[in-house]
Amino acid sequence: MPNLFGQPFVSLLSPIKLPTVFHDYQNKGSLFTLFLTSPIFAFCFVCHLNDLTNEQWNLCQEHINKIIFEITKLFLKSKLVVKKNYLFFFFFVL
């Protein structure tokens, strides 16, 4: 895939068929659900990273929180969103 963004890019796609290496874990939910609920754990899971320190985990979590905050700001700035419907929700989430 060409690098069009000038930085690393990860795309979450839903496969038609789950790779055999993940069949034993399918009873715990789909990979898509895992990425939505715990993106760091999901990324480590699919990359077979088992030895993160607490410091590394916390650093990753800080990055995820910054990303979610930026996405939320962009979402609320969008003219396609009726802000009054979402402001109450984001007030309690952030």
Rounded (10°) CA dihedral 54, 55, 60, 65? 90
Predicted confidence (pLDDT) at residue 33 exceeds the cutoff of 70? yes
Instruction: Tell me the domain boundaries of the chain.
Output: 21-51, 53-94
Percent of the chain past pLDDT 90, that is, above it, reads 14
pTM over 0.85: no
CB 48 within 8 A of CB 25: no
Q: Which helix (H) or strand (E) holds 67?
A: helix 54-77
Give the mean model confidence (pLDDT) for residues 62-76. 85
The most distant pair of C-alpha atoms in the chain lies apart, rounded to whole Å, by 45
